[in-house]
Structure formats: C-alpha cells, structure tokens
Amino acid sequence: YSTEASDVGEDESGSTFFQTALLGNISSEYITREFEQNGQLETRQIVGLYLPIQHHEEDIAGVFEMYSDVTPQIAALRNTHLGLALAALLMISLVIAGVAYLLRRSSKALENQQRGLERYAHLVRHTPTILFEITRRGKIIFLNPSAKKRFPELGSPDLTDVETLGH
C-alpha cells in the first residue's frame, strides 16, 4: 500500500534496507522525495522503516515496510537550530560588547591614573616644601628638588643616610 499510486506494485526486494531486514535486522532510511499536490511540486522528507517478520521465531517470513512523512519535524528541527544559532550569536555579541565596555572603562581609569600621577609628579618637583623618602633602615631613597637644594650634601651617593641631615 502507498499513498502514491506510482509506488504501488514496485519491487523493492533488491534494496539494501529490504535485504538487511530479510537477515533479521531492523533498518531505516531517510529519503527526500518530490510529490505533486494540487498541481504544485512539493519536497517531502520521508523515513522508511523495514521490519523483519519472523514465523515461529525461526525463518523470516517477510518484511514490513513503513514510511512516515517527517517534513514538519525536519522543519521544526531547522527552526530550532536557527533559533539556537541566533541565541548563541546574541550571547557572543553581548559578551564582546561587555568586554569592549570593560576595556574602554579600564582604559579611561588608567588614563585618569596617569594624569593623577603626572599632576602628583609635577607637584613634587615644583613644591617649595622639602620632600624625601627613607627606608626603615634610614636610607634616603628619594629627594625632591627643594630637598636637594636645601641639603646639597645628600646629592652624593655616599651620604644618603638620615643621620647626615643637619650635620
């Protein structure tokens, strides 16, 4: 039996799927066929299932062929794939936009820090106040220009101890 009159009476006994079922194994195939309906050609996706029919659990008595039109399921699957691809694309775009935003924000923060450091360095170089930095062991590691002017002896690499200040 077939819904297509042209298929009725066709001998399919030579097909691989039919032969596989004759050996006692279930087999299936996916077919794309064109059918004429209402004067228009329509492409349909068909799944064919070949089931062996056993007689008293011994010999194979025949093969039962069953066909199902899976065109709507294939269309739904394609739509699902398209939806998933679009969702993944949206997620990737959001991640890229987020990273770009964070990079821009970080870049602005670094620029602000750089400007702050430049202002601080300018203040340290040009203030009339004496500024110096010493380690816990009393070693002078920084003098601003005002400190170097007031204590010129500290400009020598040999005299960099705090004890030399004021002597």
pLDDT for position 92: 96
What are the start-end ranges of the H helices in the chain?
16-22, 71-126, 145-150
Report how far residue 86's alpha carbon sits from residue 53's, in angstroms, rounded to the nearest whole number. Answer: 46
Determine which of 1-10, 24-33, 119-128, 136-145 has the lowest per-residue pLDDT on average: 1-10
Pairing of the two strands 140-143 and 132-134: antiparallel
Asked whether the predicted pLDDT for residue 167 surpasses 50, the reply is no
Mean pLDDT of 105-109: 95
- Judged on CB neighbours under 10 Å (0-12, 13-18, 19+), 74 is middle
CB 129 within 8 A of CB 146: yes
Task: Report pLDDT digits (tens) over 21-55.
Answer: 988 899 999 989 887 778 888 898 999 899 999 87
**156: its two tokens:** 């020598």
**Structure-token pair, residue 158:** 């040999």
User: Measured between alpha carbons, how far is 12 from 21 in angstroms, rounded to an integer?
Assistant: 12
Rounded to an integer, what distance in angstroms lies between the CA atom of residue 75 and that of residue 46?
Answer: 13
Q: What is d(CA 47, CA 125) in angstroms, rounded to the nearest whole number? A: 84
Mean per-residue pLDDT, 97-110? 95
pLDDT at 159 over 80: no
Distance, in Å, from the CA atom of 29 to the CA atom of 35, rounded to the nearest integer, reads 18
Rounded to whole angstroms, the Cα distance separating 23 from 63 reads: 10
Mean pLDDT, residues 85-110 taken together: 95
Average of per-residue pLDDT values in the chain: 85
What average pLDDT does this structure show over 126-140? 89
User: Of 25-29, 88-92, 94-98, 163-167, which range is least confident?
Assistant: 163-167
Is the pLDDT at 129 greater than 60? The verdict is yes
Per the CB < 8 A criterion, the answer to whether 160 and 140 are in contact is: yes
